Chains A and B, each alone.
Chain A
């Protein structure tokens, strides 16, 4: 009975916070989460912030987009514009365009929110792209994170889809032209193209349905998918715990960093507000998508030098790079390879991106979990493949501005296109070899530093009259950062249980040879000792 008495006296002394916490915990059991997660370590590195930039800019997109839905009207009915923007007064346009103009010119702060939405969207896609590159180049997609790589990839694709559908909503000249291009591409797909275009637009292009349909995708279906995938994606980051770079005390079996509460929360929470602030500053100062300059969509006029949003550029560029004449009539049907080839090339590229973790895992046959992020130089072939991919993408992307390149640098259109065609085909190969060489050179340099120390910049004169630079040996912590990586060697083919060598084996062996034949291993203790004893001999003579 003594317990009962202590209980009844306790509440009088407790603070409001304590009482409130108990109230909530009694109904949710939330204490488990706080105890379990509150002091979780979160490894720190600037490059780990890229995913957060994506997340935080998505929050801006969501909040600003919700504000826009209260004013935007996704209708293609024709009206005569009668808002505050004088140059367009009396012009026929769709309700969608007119309501977007109203958001910009008749609702205070509306332009600000609209510009925040657009700038945040641009930053969102850019941050996802850079985040993907970080994950790729540090090998953070290895077991157990392959599936989360796939989720991240899907988010990248969905983000581009969100961006394109959003760009099309205001029904201005540029958004209509973007849809016209989509229509033309869809029509070029064999067998289903014509009908698909008809279903998409509800009849002939442009029709009166597409903006409403895209709106449903843009504010309902796609955001729901994005939010769900973000939840899963970030959930898995918690379950897997973040990767960390090698460092003293850091093991494959631990995770080291500031605790979530309070330091990580303060830094990441603060960083969130900084990202929001930066987006707000850009929206306050820089115009984006001034649809009032473009006017409403009309199939006839177009101005030169207009550009899609940046993340669509690679697809637009791919269309531009096709040489003349890639279309045939065969079997009484039109085969538009000028459209199919870009679509297929981009498709293959995306499949390679999403599939890379599985390819690398197959080549290595390594079934262990990997929680230590690679330095890019320590995985030369992966880094070189990544550089090749980036070059390919960049070539397509540059091609989307071929006309600007030509006029800006006074080149011929043909010259620019031919140069970019070469870039897209040869560029990746060149980038591959250069990157591989650079990685291996950097690895050799690391070995050199571990074995012989840093160049201290101090020159001493030997008794014999020659000059040498004194090398500063590494302390064990710095050394660990340079030697704690694993290298792989080419697979040796051995016959299986039935004494056979399968074709799969042979393929794996040759890919493995390509990956790992130029292997630089980390310095071992024995090598360092050997280097030291020869060094000591040197040092002795110096002092002697």
Chain B
């Protein structure tokens, strides 16, 4: 190491006191000038006002114990406030008062001790500084040598380096034994479900009615006026026994009506809309927040999480933001009674991208 550093000619050994010797080590590329200043030693001690003026000392003393008494007062106050400010009245205001008055008591109790102790330390305790000598963190060469010797002896007696077959088989066993523990964590996810399968389907089926979120009322096409937008879930969601939120996290849809002339359906999707009414997945294709903000006059959808924007008049393609894919479209139609229904499930997985998606 020595030859690659600039130690040598332009350096002189710094003040070679005993301690410096203890801290020896390569200085690397540090420059230690020959005629550096010397440490002037400690400054003369400056007394504080409380050391010199007995009146000030008295006053400091008074301040300290007053603060401690205030702290006791605060504790008592907090307990009293707990009783004096009940909050079982269904009234948010009462909760606020309870919170505030208990809190102020506790605060006083804590700050009284805190400021009292600090003031005591600063103004009354003898203020001389201590000086510790530092010793190098590393152990002495003798100890190091001793440690090496212990290890050598242990190796010798056990034959750890000599009996290589034993050693290697032990290493192998030690590597293998945690594996079952890792495998056990397979149980974190259900054994009988395939993620890709589940992520690829939602509750929507041919003929499932579009209903309002959260009331579950079916929607008549005639009730959807131009410019309006509805938060929609599939009919039957509320009646699910299990997995309601999981289904909703995939099936949530935003329904909007534009002038049919403002829509530019992609090839093959010409009949996915009904009279200007379109339904798109509400789950952002970035990382899955609900895309809930609809700007009526631009026909843009905005995801509040990372500001991806989707153009409803253009198949909900991304126009800005980190999302890549357009929001999946739910093909819709109208049933005999005039209610909006799905033509089928989505034709692609909704929500965030995942590895197996293609």
Assess whether B287 is interfacial by the CB under 8 Å rule. Answer: yes
A149→B287 CA distance, assembly (Å): 34
Given known A180-B287, A365-B26, contact A194–B304 (CB-CB < 8 A): no
CB distance B198 to A270 under 8 Å?
A: no
Which residues in A have their C-beta under 8 angstroms from that of B28?
364-367, 488
- 0/1 per residue, A195-225, Cβ < 8 Å to B? 1011111111111010001000000000000
Residue of B nearest to A242 (CB): B132
CB distance from B244 to the nearest CB of A (A): 8
CB distance B304 to A403 under 8 Å?
A: yes
CB distance B289 to A302 under 8 Å?
A: yes
A268→B114 CA distance, assembly (Å): 9
Assess whether A426 is interfacial by the CB under 8 Å rule. Answer: no
CB distance A300 to B233 under 8 Å?
A: yes
CB distance A270 to B117 under 8 Å?
A: yes
Which residues in B have their C-beta under 8 angstroms from that of A199?
185-186, 188-189
Which residues in A have their C-beta under 8 angstroms from that of B42?
248-249
Contacting chain A: which of B54-62, B95-103, B220-228, B272-280?
A: B95-103
Residue of A nearest to B318 (CB): A324
Which residues in B have their C-beta under 8 angstroms from that of A249?
39-43, 131
Which residues in A have their C-beta under 8 angstroms from that of B26?
365-368
Residue of A nearest to B20 (CB): A253
A187→B288 CA distance, assembly (Å): 10
Assess whether A355 is interfacial by the CB under 8 Å rule. Answer: no
A274→B171 CA distance, assembly (Å): 52
- 0/1 per residue, A272-307, Cβ < 8 Å to B? 111111101101110000000000011111111110
Q: A254-B134, A320-B307 are in contact. List 20 more A-B contacts (CB 8 A).
A: A108-B102, A111-B95, A112-B103, A187-B352, A241-B134, A249-B43, A270-B121, A273-B110, A274-B114, A299-B245, A299-B252, A321-B322, A325-B324, A326-B324, A329-B358, A333-B357, A334-B356, A363-B29, A483-B36, A526-B35
Assess whether A252 is interfacial by the CB under 8 Å rule. Answer: yes
Which residues in B have their C-beta under 8 angstroms from that of A258?
127, 129-130
Given known A84-B88, A300-B290, contact A111–B5 (CB-CB < 8 A): no
Given known A195-B195, A512-B29, contact A108–B36 (CB-CB < 8 A): no
CB distance A491 to B246 under 8 Å?
A: no
A332→B41 CA distance, assembly (Å): 73
Interface residues on B, range: 35 or more
Which residues in A have their C-beta under 8 angstroms from that of B36?
483, 522, 524-525
CB distance A524 to B4 under 8 Å?
A: no
Which residues A173-206 have CB closer than 8 A to chain B? 177, 180-181, 183-185, 187-195, 197-206
**Residue among A267, A323, A528 making CB contact with B117, cutoff 8 Å:** A267
CB distance B43 to A248 under 8 Å?
A: yes
Assess whether A437 is interfacial by the CB under 8 Å rule. Answer: no
Which residues B15-37 have CB closer than 8 A to chain A? 17, 19-20, 22-37
Which residues in B have their C-beta under 8 angstroms from that of A265?
121
A130→B13 CA distance, assembly (Å): 37
CB distance B4 to A496 under 8 Å?
A: yes
Assess whether B205 is interfacial by the CB under 8 Å rule. Answer: no
Assess whether A68 is interfacial by the CB under 8 Å rule. Answer: no
CB<8 Å pairs between A and B, sample of 28:
A84-B90, A112-B103, A180-B249, A188-B352, A194-B354, A198-B193, A203-B193, A248-B43, A253-B17, A253-B23, A255-B131, A263-B121, A270-B114, A274-B111, A280-B110, A284-B107, A304-B302, A324-B319, A334-B354, A365-B4, A366-B25, A366-B27, A367-B28, A368-B23, A368-B24, A484-B37, A489-B29, A490-B29
A349→B113 CA distance, assembly (Å): 42
Assess whether B150 is interfacial by the CB under 8 Å rule. Answer: no
CB distance from A170 to the nearest CB of B (A): 16
A102→B42 CA distance, assembly (Å): 60
Residue of A nearest to B86 (CB): A108
CB distance A193 to B355 under 8 Å?
A: yes
CB distance from B17 to the nearest CB of A (A): 8
Assess whether A256 is interfacial by the CB under 8 Å rule. Answer: yes
Which residues in A have their C-beta under 8 angstroms from that of B352?
183-184, 187-188
Q: Which 9 pairs, one residue from A and one from B, show the smallest C-beta to C-beta distance?
A: A284-B103, A184-B287, A270-B117, A273-B114, A266-B121, A365-B28, A249-B42, A366-B28, A277-B110
Residue of B nearest to A329 (CB): B358
CB distance from A41 to the nearest CB of B (A): 4
Which residues A355-375 have CB closer than 8 A to chain B? 363-369, 371
CB distance from B225 to the nearest CB of A (A): 22
Residue of B nearest to A104 (CB): B95
**Residue among A39, A413, A493 making CB contact with B130, cutoff 8 Å:** A39
A135→B24 CA distance, assembly (Å): 24
CB distance B286 to A338 under 8 Å?
A: yes
Which residues in A have their C-beta under 8 angstroms from that of B320?
324, 413-414, 417
CB distance from A197 to the nearest CB of B (A): 7
Residue of B nearest to A483 (CB): B37
Residue of A nearest to B126 (CB): A263
CB distance B117 to A334 under 8 Å?
A: no
CB distance A327 to B324 under 8 Å?
A: yes
Which residues A362-391 have CB closer than 8 A to chain B? 363-369, 371
Which residues A420-470 have CB closer than 8 A to chain B? none
Which residues in A have their C-beta under 8 angstroms from that of B104?
281, 284
CB distance from A35 to the nearest CB of B (A): 13
Which residues B59-106 have CB closer than 8 A to chain A? 82, 85-90, 92, 95, 98-100, 102-104, 106
A526→B36 CA distance, assembly (Å): 8
CB distance from B23 to the nearest CB of A (A): 6
